A and B are shown apart, each in its own frame.
Chain A
Amino acid sequence: MLGKLMKYEFMALGRIFLPLFAALIIMSLVSSLFGYLQLTIPTGLGIFVAVVLIIGIAVISFIITIQRFWTNLLSNEGYLTMTLPASVDSIILSKLFVSAILFIVSGIVVMGSILIMGGAWMGFGSILDMFIRAFENAPFNSYQMVIFLLQSLASVILGSFSFILLMYACMSLSMLVNKNRWLMAFGSYIAITTILQVVAVLIATIIAALGFHDRLDGVLNSFLMNFSLFGQFQFLSWSVVGVTLVLCVVYYLITRHMLSKRLNLQ
């Protein structure tokens, strides 16, 4: 069922994003061709259009993630989606996976487009040199660099999940009211992000307070000094992954509970 749900989700999103991606790639190629021919004004114009498309893709990715969940699950289309012989988990996960894939593919297309335009401007060779130099000058060895890149990639994917699931949870909470549901969804977003910020400030204050304490400061310092630079990075990175994972689970459970027990279609 998950596969079938994802298929129709891809179809719904593909019809909007494939033309946008194609337009961006074509625009990047055209402006890099103008750049290669040293035609300044058309190149500038081409880059401007490409930048507008990049901003457009970012904004539309965000809006479509919200719109698909809202119309397909919480509005009239929900009468069909929520009565399909599929579990609530498959329904949420299909939307989550396809949206996350969309975010990542959008990122790749945007980076590719920047690379095409930058390559024509600066030369592909010099861009490649820049990457090689950055890799060589990094304070990690090759093995550590691979781990670093993989962890960064995992953080980006998990970050997308967490962002999308937060949107889903806020929209699902809107079913607690019968009127002004968009307002309720927005209010839930403000409430959740405020709570998270208060918790983050509290934790930072506690850690700072510990730093002022003579004995505890020693314990904290000796704990961190045990790690190499890579170890400290690992510690920080795993902490971020852990917190994001916990947030994902909480947002998912809120969405799941609302869709399976408190569904209130109008």
Chain B
Amino acid sequence: MPILKCSSLHKVYGHTVALRNADLEIEPGRIVGLLGPNGSGKSTLIKICTGLLTPSSGFVQIGGSNPGPETKGIVSYLPENSYLNSWMKVSHMISFFKDFYSDFNMAKATEMLSNLNINTNSTIKSLSKGTKEKVQLILVMARDAKLYLLDEPIGGVDPAARDYILNTIIKNYNPEASVVISTHLIYDIEQVLDDVIFLKNGEVALSSSVDDLREQRGMSVDAYFREVFKC
């Protein structure tokens, strides 16, 4: 059974169509790149999967259920924005995650925080923007979730942290879990992807495995992306 299934997913904001009848399926154990230029519907698709948005029509299922408290317990979501409570300490945020998510892996979180030299006694508001992003990513990746939805996880961090993040994603590989990474920085993440989905003006322009794409098109994902989305 696919861990994520979208069927004829359509989302309209006022007069703007953000998603047009998107159909896709993601199987367990895959690392999937959700690729497209700005405004192509990547964040909208992810927000619908998290239950933050309701589709105008069509449906989405996660592990066979519609988005709700049950699916939120198995989905680990990293938004573009910083959602940390600024008055809390890093250690409070860890307790918060431990309290709400039964799949939160304390040992994994502690190890990652110590690898990145993050002091758990610091208050969130005293951290730099980049460190806040790292803390948020650690909290999200320290869960043993079934589906990780990462919206632009490498956009705001330095190249060294970017490598660490990608290594973390690969290291956390679990045959039962899938990772969806939305980004337009394809070159950096191409090495870790199993599958790619191209979104163009809210439509699924391509859904393929990276190996098939390279074989059939004779070029890298990055090169093909530049061809498809040429301005």
Contact = CB atoms under 8 A, between A and B. Distances in A.
Interface stretch (A29-37, A75-83, A116-124): A75-83
Interface residues of A, number: 25
Dominant SS among interface residues on chain B: loop
B87 A15 contact: yes
Interface stretch (A19-27, A57-65, A84-92, A181-189): A84-92
Nearest to B47: A265
B73 A265 contact: no
A86 B87 contact: no
A85 B52 contact: no
Given A79-B52, A82-B51, A84-B100, A12 B72 contact: no
Interface stretch (B76-84, B112-120, B202-210, B215-223): B76-84
Interface in B62-83: 68-70, 72-73, 75, 77, 79, 81-83
Nearest to B99: A4
A263 B77 contact: no
A1 B99 CA distance: 9
A215 interface: no
Interface residues of B, number: 25
Contact of A76 (B50, B69, B77, B82): B82
A193 to B, nearest CB: 28
B54 A77 contact: no
Interface string B91-125: 01000100111000000000000000000000000
A265 B82 CA distance: 13
B72 A83 contact: yes
14 contacts: A4-B99, A4-B100, A7-B99, A12-B87, A72-B85, A79-B79, A79-B81, A79-B83, A82-B52, A83-B50, A83-B52, A84-B72, A261-B54, A265-B52
